Structures are given as C-alpha cells and as structure tokens.
Amino acid sequence: MSTPQTVLAIGGTSGMGRATAQLLAARGDAVIVAGRSRARAQGAAREIGGSATGIEINLINILSIEAAAAETGPIDHLVLSAADLSYAPFRELAISDARNVFESKFWGYYRAVQVFGPQLPKTGSITFFSGVAADRPAPGTVAVTTVNAAIEGLTRALAVELAPVRVNAVSPGTVDTEAWSHLSDEDKASAFEQQARSLLVGRVGRPEDVASTVAHLIDNGFTTGTIHHVDGGARLV
C-alpha cells in the first residue's frame, strides 16, 4: 500500500472526479474535494468519508483559486476533472459559448497549475482530464474536441517545464455519469447499448475505470507527459 498523501481533486463532487476522490480516500489518502459550491463540496466529502474535506474553487476566478490554496496548505497531487462544456454544430455554436468552454477547462486548468504547481513536491503530480473527442471528433463536439486537444498539448508542455513534477492526462470515452442525466432512463439505456456494440470491450465505461487510472498515474513515479486512454477501444473502431 502506498504512503498516504494529500490530493486536491478539483471537480471531485460528481462523476469521474467523484469516483477518483472516493477511491483515493478509501485507500487512506487525504482528499480535498473542490467544486464551485462549498456546500456541495463539503457534502460530497462527508459522503466519501475518511479524511476527505470539501472546499470551494471557481476555476475562472484566479482570486478564488489563490484563496483555496491558502486554505488547503501544501498538497502532493493535483487532479483536474472539472469542466463546463457546450455541444453544438460549428455553424450554430456561438463564439462566446466556445470561449466559455476554454475559459472553464483550458484556462481554468492553466490557472490552477499556476497557483498550485509551486506547492507540489518533486515527487508530486498533476493529472488533467481530456476526452476521446480529441481523437475521434463527432458532429457537435467542435469546442469539446478542440479544448481536449489543447489540454493534451498542455500536458506535454508542462511535463517538460515542471519536471521532475509529473504531468499526465486521462482521456475517457463514454462513461456512465451524471453528464447523461438529461436523457430519460430509456433513451440513456438505448444510447449506451448502441455505444457498447461499437466498442471492443462490449460496454461503456464506469467512473471507477477512470478513477483507477488516475490512481495509477499518481502512484507511478516513472510516467509523465502521457495521455492515458480509458475508452474501451473507441479510437480503434
């Protein structure tokens, strides 16, 4: 078992970020769950249990990030899964909406690393969340595809600049999370069944599939500058 460490999970209140926080807390790490709502983050931390705590971070506000850094104190690892995404065809997507995707995800991650990066020890790590759209764009995903491609470039560049701190990214495929809650149960089941038939593993992803990959990247001191695909083989079919 690895030595317990302090991990800040920005976006750890839901979905894959929440599953990651849950896994790390269950193995004994001190997890700080961060989200735009302090009440929600603290509620998630209580449900996760262990030594998990909750704080507020708004990634589009550098002052919010700096205040959070003063509150957390030193951390060992930073995990960034938060995102505010917009899906629409290129001809219909307003430039302001596309900018908002970059403001929350790319520039939000960039700001967080500017603030928290100097706190990390030489053995620390940063794990970004990208996504399969960077490799397999579909109609209506232009902003998401582009921001994820930018995150992957940022991963490689920071791995070089911040060494020996390690910087990696996880690129999930279709994963059963709250992001699909806009669909009825019937429509979601149909969409997942159709997607599962097209994937090499015969199913869509689960949040814990991604969480275990993040834990691996935190633990593996010889891995940096990589994009780890957790997509059921979506890039190959």
The residues annotated as belonging to the active site are 130
Looking up tokens 């633990």, which residue turns up? 219
Q: Contact 114/155 with Cβ under 8 angstroms?
A: no
Question: In angstroms, rounded to a whole number, what is the distance separating the alpha carbons of residues 228 and 215?
Answer: 12
* Beta strands in 44-90, from DSSP E residues, in sequence order: 53-56, 77-80
Task: Give the residue from 56, 39, 45 showing the smallest Cα distance to 18.
Answer: 45
Among 128, 126, 121, which residue's Cα sits nearest to residue 148? 128
8 A C-beta contact, residue 130 and residue 154: no
For 57, the token pair is 């971070």
Q: What is the DSSP letter of 133?
A: G
Bridge-based pairing of strands 166-172 and 125-129 is parallel
